[in-house]
């Protein structure tokens, strides 16, 4: 019971002055009880730590043997003087031509096998983010006004959305398609969905191809992700048709995978490039806001209306070694976590119809808790791959101590601070953080549990305020923010972390191969100087 109580937070909400009834004219208040993210400091699952070290060892064992061989060979050679070594070579060397040729043949074969079997590095050449037109810009006040004029909501639903917006962290310059506010009309039509997604995707791709000086016919892999809008033909087919791409292109369309689908798409594109080396891959991440819009009365389904906004990103990847000179980043790690086996996690973000058969996206009260468990599993697996050795040593030693000498406190009593495991300092592993801008509350919990600074989450909070929750493309708006501020230097590591329905949590780690100059084309042009804003 105490453990369950620790996951709850309370908040007193002023609901204004009662307008009718026996208490008319009196101020009214309500107590809101919410689940908070689980405290990462109190529990770390050992199996995820083992998984992270398995990843590290499976890729590092070959490199670990090389220094050992060098030390042994060096010790043998070091015991001889220069004259002794030269005499030993001439005295014992065999001048059999067959032996010499066999030796060089084995050497060439070994080097060739190593080069061909080693996975090629994947480079990020450049990326582009969609800036919607000015007529789609909607402030929080205009949102409520237009929603009221649409006639789809009663006053209680409007008041609820207004309260959510005030604490959401969104600013007054986010973008939404005007079709969602059309009175008495279902905005989630195939025509509106195609119009919305094609406008965003084609604008982002036009900019990407122009910036990278790449022809659409040069692209060999295309991956598109959009969670809720999945027409036939697919969105990837729409792109192939619009740009008249090659007939043998490997195209994929991912649907229903939530806000973390952008990293999943990058992972798929990487695998396709490794299987088909020497080409370009384009990853497009977007969401159709008209299909996330809900015009009913159920409050759990009204929440997405307040957060989701228009956005799209297009990324160009390559594993051609000659592209290293013009690439911005190289992909180092991708770690994916899926909690779909747990029923609460599976239903935490769920598309369904309400009592009036109005379709919408339902957000569970358990979302923060299940999201916290997914985040904890993901970052625990990621730690051994990216953390400095000193941090790993402290963390692993504390974890073993906690595992073999567990606390003898009763389950009802809160754990002492001394029994909490050592949580590594992820600020020592990364210079930049691009964490999915879901809401202000989620970012607050992440900052507290991971001990991040305001500067670490500056990009995430700026994107949430300027563009809202743009779903799977939000992490690319955050990277665009860092570039527009001129913060990315050669060797810097960037951590992209996103989570979404299923429930999934995914991480991607990039390393800047050169200093990234301020871009001449960016969605932040004209507004970058206004950020960061005061809390």
**Using CA atoms, how far apart are residues 535 and 512, in angstroms rounded to an integer?**
30
Cis peptide bond N-terminal to 233, omega within 30 = yes
Phi/psi of residue 4, each to 5°? -65, -40
Please tell me which residue in 333, 373, 445, 465 is annotated as part of the active site.
465
What is the SS3 assignment for 170? coil
465 counts as catalytic: yes
**Using CA atoms, how far apart are residues 308 and 438, in angstroms rounded to an integer?**
9
What is the SS3 assignment for 208? helix
Q: Which residues of 49-69 are buried (b: 16+ CB within 10 A; e: fewer)?
A: bebbbebbeeeeeeeeeeeee
Please tell me which residue in 333, 436, 456, 505 is annotated as part of the active site.
436
527: tokens are: 């507004």
Please tell me which residue in 129, 259, 306, 505 is annotated as part of the active site.
259
Is there a contact between 259 and 471 (Cβ–Cβ < 8 Å)? Answer: yes
- Provide CB contacts within 8 A for 11, sequence distance 6+: 31, 32, 34
371: tokens are: 């999201």
Please tell me which residue in 305, 319, 469, 506 is annotated as part of the active site.
469
Please tell me which residue in 432, 445, 449, 505 is annotated as part of the active site.
432
Q: What is the DSSP string of 220-268?
A: EEEEEE-SS---SS-HHHHHHHHHT--TT-EEEEE-S-GGGHHHHHHHH
Q: Would you report the helix, strand and coil content of the chain in percent, each value rounded to 5?
A: 45, 20, 35
306: tokens are: 């307040």
**Using CA atoms, how far apart are residues 316 and 214, in angstroms rounded to an integer?**
9
Please tell me which residue in 186, 242, 276, 338 is annotated as part of the active site.
338
Q: What is the DSSP letter of 516?
A: P
- Give 181's strand partners: none
Structure-token match 């600074």, residue found: 453
Strand-strand pairing, 493-500 and 432-435 = parallel
Give the CA distances from residue 425 to residues 375, 388, 414, 467, in Å, rounded to whole numbers and listed in that order.
15, 9, 24, 29
- Provide CB contacts within 8 A for 133, sequence distance 6+: 175
Beta strands in 396-478 (DSSP E): 432-435
Q: What is the DSSP letter of 118?
A: S
> What is the dihedral angle through the alpha carbons of 205, 206, 207, 210, rounded to the nearest 10 degrees?
120
> What is the dihedral angle through the alpha carbons of 265, 269, 271, 274, rounded to the nearest 10 degrees?
-160
Neighbours of 2 (CB within 10 A): 10
436 counts as catalytic: yes
What is the SS3 assignment for 367? helix
333 counts as catalytic: no
Q: What is the DSSP letter of 473?
A: G
**Using CA atoms, how far apart are residues 467 and 461, in angstroms rounded to an integer?**
10
| Alpha carbons within 13 A on the beta-carbon side of 96 | 6
The residues assigned a catalytic role are 259, 338, 432, 436, 465, 469
């Amino acid at each position: 019971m105490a453990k369950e109580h620790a996951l709850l937070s309370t908040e007193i909400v002023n609901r204004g002055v009662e307008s009718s009834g026996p208490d008319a004219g009196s101020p009214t208040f309500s107590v809101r009880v919410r689940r908070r993210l689980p405290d990462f400091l109190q529990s770390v699952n050992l199996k995820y730590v083992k998984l992270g070290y398995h990843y590290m060892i499976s890729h590092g064992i070959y490199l670990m043997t090389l220094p050992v061989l060098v030390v042994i060979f060096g010790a043998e050679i070091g015991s001889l003087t220069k004259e002794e070594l030269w005499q030993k070579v001439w005295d014992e060397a065999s001048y059999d031509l067959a032996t010499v040729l066999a030796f060089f043949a084995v050497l060439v074969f070994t080097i060739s096998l190593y080069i061909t079997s080693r996975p090629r590095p994947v480079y990020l050449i450049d990326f582009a983010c969609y800036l919607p037109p000015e007529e789609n810009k909607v402030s929080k006040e205009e949102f409520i006004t237009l929603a009221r004029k649409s006639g789809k909501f009663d006053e209680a639903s409007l008041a609820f959305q207004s309260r959510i917006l005030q604490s959401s962290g969104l600013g007054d310059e986010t973008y939404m398609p005007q079709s969602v506010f059309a009175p008495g009309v279902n905005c989630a039509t195939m025509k509106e969905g195609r119009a919305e997604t094609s406008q965003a995707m084609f604008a982002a791709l036009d900019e990407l191809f122009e910036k990278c000086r790449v022809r659409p016919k040069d692209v060999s892999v295309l991956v598109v992700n959009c969670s809720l809008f999945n027409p036939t033909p697919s969105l990837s087919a729409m792109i192939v048709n619009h740009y008249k791409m090659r007939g043998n292109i490997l195209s994929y369309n991912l649907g229903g995978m939530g806000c973390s689908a952008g990293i999943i798409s990058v992972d798929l594109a990487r695998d396709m490039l490794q299987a088909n080396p020497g080409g370009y891959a384009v990853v497009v991440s977007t969401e159709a806001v008209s299909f996330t819009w809900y015009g009913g009365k159920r409050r759990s389904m009204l929440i997405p209306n307040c957060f989701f906004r228009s956005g799209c990103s297009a990324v160009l990847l390559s594993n051609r070694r000659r592209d290293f000179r013009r690439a911005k980043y190289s992909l180092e790690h991708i770690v994916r976590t899926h909690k779909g086996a747990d029923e609460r996690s599976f239903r935490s973000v769920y598309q369904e119809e309400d009592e009036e058969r109005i379709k919408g996206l339902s957000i569970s009260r358990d979302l923060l808790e299940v999201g916290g468990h997914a985040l904890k599993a993901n970052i625990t697996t990621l730690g051994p791959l990216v953390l400095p050795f000193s941090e790993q040593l402290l963390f692993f030693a504390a974890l073993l101590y906690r595992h073999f000498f567990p606390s003898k406190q009763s389950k009802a009593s809160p754990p002492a601070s001394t029994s909490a495991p050592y949580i590594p300092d992820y600020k020592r592993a990364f210079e930049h953080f691009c964490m999915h801008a879901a809401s202000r509350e989620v970012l607050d919990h992440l900052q507290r549990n991971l001990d991040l600074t305001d500067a670490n989450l500056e990009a995430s909070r700026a994107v949430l305020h300027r563009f809202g929750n743009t779903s799977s493309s939000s992490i690319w708006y955050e990277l665009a923010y860092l570039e527009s501020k001129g913060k990315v230097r050669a060797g810097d590591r960037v951590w992209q972390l996103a989570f979404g329905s299923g429930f999934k949590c995914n991480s991607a780690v990039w390393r800047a191969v050169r200093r990234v100059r301020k871009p001449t084309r960016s969605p932040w042009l004209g507004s970058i100087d206004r950020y960061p804003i005061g809390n």
